[in-house]
A and B are shown apart, each in its own frame.
Chain A
Amino acid sequence: GAGVSQSPSNKVTEKGKDVELRCDPISGHTALYWYRQRLGQGLEFLIYFQGNSAPDKSGLPSDRFSAERTGESVSTLTIQRTQQEDSAVYLCASSSVTGSYEQYFGPGTRLTVT
């Protein structure tokens, strides 16, 4: 079946604007993660969704960041009033919560704030 998809693949925005990033997980995967990856860095956990449970938002860096997910489908990550330090690749991953917990990653959205 189809893998995890993300859109847009690249986004250039002006400082102060809001952006919305989208993630389509693999069908049937109840768990969904958002990560931030700054240039040359590792993955920084942002938020985790599991089914209809309350999300783990402990990784969101500020209240300018928010994310939503309806059921076990699409998720959107919104960054309000973007700052230059928000420039990074935003990766989405989904997984089944049974078995090996392998995460399947999307290709990411490269966000550039000018």
Chain B
Amino acid sequence: AQTVTQSQPEMSVQEAETVTLSCTYDTSESDYYLFWYKQPPSRQMILVIRQEAYKQQNATENRFSVNFQKAAKSFSLKISDSQLGDAAMYFCATILTYKYIFGTGTRLKVLA
């Protein structure tokens, strides 16, 4: 079965510092996508970053980057220069055919 595990229920980071959120997954697929979604208090889920498994290069979107380790089935999210607006729940996810599998989330607190 396809699973996604986020082992950090909560993380804190000082404003302007860097934080890394962990995610591991298990899949029997050879090609797949991985995602990080952000859910602020407004509840609106927003895609942060996406990685295609066949691409070796780590995806980057401005202050957000991933460390994708395919052999280890690890997909961590690094947020650089953290801002107060980054405070939210972050969900790691993968897709099996059409069905998304989400982790349980990590709540990120940003300290001023």
Spell out A's residues near B (CB within 8 Å): 31, 33, 41-43, 45, 48, 50, 56, 89, 91, 93, 97, 100-103, 105-108, 110
Q: Which residues from A are CB-within-8-Å of B37? A: 105
Q: Which residues from A are CB-within-8-Å of B43? A: 89, 91, 107-108, 110
Task: Tell which of A42, A97, A105 touches B98, judged by Cβ atoms closer than 8 Å.
Answer: A97
Majority-rule SS of B interface residues: strand
A42-B103 contact given A89-B43, A93-B45, A105-B45, CB 8 Å threshold: yes
Given contacts A103-B47, A105-B45, 8 further A-B contacts (CB under 8 A): A41-B104, A42-B104, A89-B43, A91-B43, A100-B50, A101-B98, A105-B37, A107-B42
| Nearest chain B residue, comparing its CB with the CB of A50 | B98
Q: Does B25 contact A (CB under 8 A)?
A: no
Task: Give me 5 A-to-B residue pairs in the complex whose CB atoms sit less than 8 angstroms apart, sorted by A's number.
Answer: A42-B102, A42-B105, A45-B99, A91-B43, A103-B100
Q: Which residues from B are CB-within-8-Å of A89? A: 43
